[in-house]
């Protein structure tokens, strides 16, 4: 979660730090006055615009299996997919090329991968382990590089499924222009994943650890995109004003339906990590609970609501029933969130809906061999 600190102007600003809540023991990010970080001189713009398709709610097999496909069909499909990736993942070499990509993207989300063919770092604060045996060092290097290769495959698959998201690759190879660009972007760990919209850096993921998940989480959080063509905003209401909050709270008078308001901030890592769970719950808990998300630092109205709701840490989940607050939960643990929602409903004597029915294999018929 994230602790909020209010500036004299009443604005909240994010500065992530590795802390742990003594109550929920979940990830914490402290909110203080945002420092001025030297970065590429990009256009500053509010978070806006939405994209469609892709994400991480559907299983990978949804994209990997093609029923009735012949070997020749498979080869032709892979050729088409490779061509799609080449057309959607732009290789950038200079600062001018990078700025042009951002300008051409407009309101679209831009996902930037800065990577190397020789270096693959974890991004953890702990130093990399020292390996004294040559064979052990070579094996560890191969395993680490395999993780970075897996990230590339995830980005390629996501690029195929997300035609309305722009993907950029910057490879550090020692060339002067590329190294200068990497330095301008403030990248110190390879690989690094950055998310931009309208020239503004929204969030970055440093190091290969959990980067595969970070690709889908970032696209879902900022790009309003999930697998199977699902838009998170179609199941989780997007609260950008007081009027929309009142509309959400007044959308149902059924006391059996729990209303869950997810209060987040734009660049808070814990909020990004838990959002896929919010989307999944909103789909499986239909008629049991409804969900909405408010970015507390999106505009003046949301900042005022952040103070009025007395939110001091994010993510905060405020529970309403019939428009009246009945409780809240602070933290980014998905299991704790589910537990709190079930506890709220159990107190009202309500049970969660049954899981969706999936196709089940027919039981095998047993035949008994008769002795003659």
3 Cβ neighbours under 8 A, 6+ residues apart: 19, 28, 29, 30, 31, 312, 313
What is the pLDDT at residue 64?
46
CA atoms within 13 A on the CB side of 283: 15
Tokens of 126: 């702990």
Q: Where are the domains of the chain?
A: 51-62+75-229, 232-346
- Give CA–CA dist 344/9, Å, rounded: 36
Do domains 51-62+75-229 and 232-346 share one topology? The answer is yes
The DSSP line for 252-285 is ---TTSEEEEEEE-TT-HHHHHHHHHHHHHHHHT
Residue 219 CA, distance from chain mean position: 6
3-class DSSP assignment, residue 105: helix
217: left (phi over 0), alpha (psi -120 to 50) or beta: alpha
Closest to 151 in 3D by CA, of 203, 192, 93, 110: 192
Predicted confidence at residue 63, as pLDDT, reads 41
- Eight-class DSSP state of 102: H
Give yes or no for a cis peptide into 315 (omega within 30° of 0).
yes
DSSP-derived secondary structure letter, 34: P
Query: Is 296 buried (19+), middle (13-18) or exposed (0-12) by CB count in 10 A?
Result: buried
Cα–Cα distance, 64 to 78 (Å, whole number): 11
CA distances in angstroms from 37 to 5, 10, 13, 31, 200, listed in the order given: 19, 21, 13, 15, 13
Question: How many Å apart are CA 176 and CA 162, to the nearest integer?
Answer: 32
pTM of the model: 0.74
Rounded to whole angstroms, how far apart are CA atoms 317 and 334? Answer: 12
Do the bridges between strand 236-239 and strand 289-295 make them parallel or antiparallel, or are there none, so unpaired?
parallel
Range 51-62+75-229 classified under CATH 3.30.559.10? no
**Could you read off the pLDDT tens digit of each residue along the chain, which spans 372 residues?**
666 654 434 444 444 333 333 333 344 444 433 333 334 444 333 333 333 334 444 444 434 455 677 877 776 666 666 666 666 889 999 999 999 999 999 999 999 999 999 999 998 876 656 655 566 778 888 898 999 999 988 998 888 888 889 999 999 877 899 999 999 999 999 999 999 999 999 999 999 999 999 999 999 999 988 766 778 999 999 999 999 999 999 998 899 999 999 999 999 999 999 999 999 999 999 999 999 999 999 999 999 999 999 999 999 999 999 999 999 999 999 999 999 999 999 999 999 888 766 545 445 444 444 444
d(CA 100, CA 218): 22
Alpha helices, DSSP H, located in 124-257:
134-161, 176-184, 211-223, 242-249
3-state secondary structure of 137: helix
- Superfamily classification of domain 232-346: Glutaredoxin (3.40.30.10)
Token pair belonging to 284? 């499986």
* C-beta separation of 11 from 302 below 8 A: no
What does the alpha-carbon distance between residue 205 and residue 227 come to, in Å, rounded to a whole number? 21
The pLDDT value given to residue 71: 77
Q: At 119, list the tokens.
A: 């270096």
């Amino acid at each position: 979660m994230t602790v909020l600190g209010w500036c004299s102007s009443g604005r909240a600003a994010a500065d992530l730090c590795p802390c742990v809540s003594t109550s929920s023991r979940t990830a914490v990010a402290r909110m203080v006055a945002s420092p001025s970080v030297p970065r590429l001189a990009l256009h500053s713009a509010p978070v806006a615009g939405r994209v469609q398709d892709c994400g991480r709610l559907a299983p990978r097999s949804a994209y990997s299996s093609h029923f009735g496909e012949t070997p020749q069909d498979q080869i032709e499909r892979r050729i088409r997919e490779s061509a799609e990736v080449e057309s959607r993942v732009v290789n950038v070499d200079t600062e001018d090329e990078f700025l042009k990509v951002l300008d051409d993207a407009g309101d679209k989300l831009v996902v930037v991968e800065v990577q190397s063919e020789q270096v693959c770092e974890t991004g953890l604060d702990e130093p990399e382990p020292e390996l004294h045996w040559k064979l052990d060092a070579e094996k560890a290097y191969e395993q680490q590089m395999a993780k970075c290769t897996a990230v590339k495959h995830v980005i390629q698959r996501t690029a195929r499924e997300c035609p309305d998201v722009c993907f950029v690759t910057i490879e550090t190879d020692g060339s002067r222009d590329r190294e200068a660009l990497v330095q301008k972007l403030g990248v110190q760990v390879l690989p690094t994943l950055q998310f931009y919209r309208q020239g503004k850096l929204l969030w970055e993921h440093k190091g290969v650890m959990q980067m595969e998940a970070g690709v889908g989480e970032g696209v879902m959080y900022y790009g309003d995109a999930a697998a199977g063509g699902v838009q998170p905003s179609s199941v989780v209401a997007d609260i950008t004003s007081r009027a929309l909050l009142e509309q959400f709270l007044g959308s149902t008078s059924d006391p059996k339906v729990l209303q869950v308001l997810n209060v987040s901030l734009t660049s808070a890592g814990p909020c990004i990590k838990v959002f896929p769970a919010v989307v999944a719950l909103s789909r499986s808990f239909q008629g049991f609970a409804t969900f909405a998300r408010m970015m507390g630092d999106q505009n003046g109205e949301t900042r005022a609501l952040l103070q009025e709701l007395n939110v001091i840490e994010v993510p905060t989940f405020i529970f309403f029933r019939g428009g009246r607050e009945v409780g809240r939960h602070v933290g980014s643990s998905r299991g704790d969130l589910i537990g709190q929602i079930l506890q709220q409903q159990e107190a009202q004597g309500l049970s969660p809906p049954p899981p969706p029915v999936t196709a089940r294999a027919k039981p095998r018929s047993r035949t008994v061999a008769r002795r003659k």
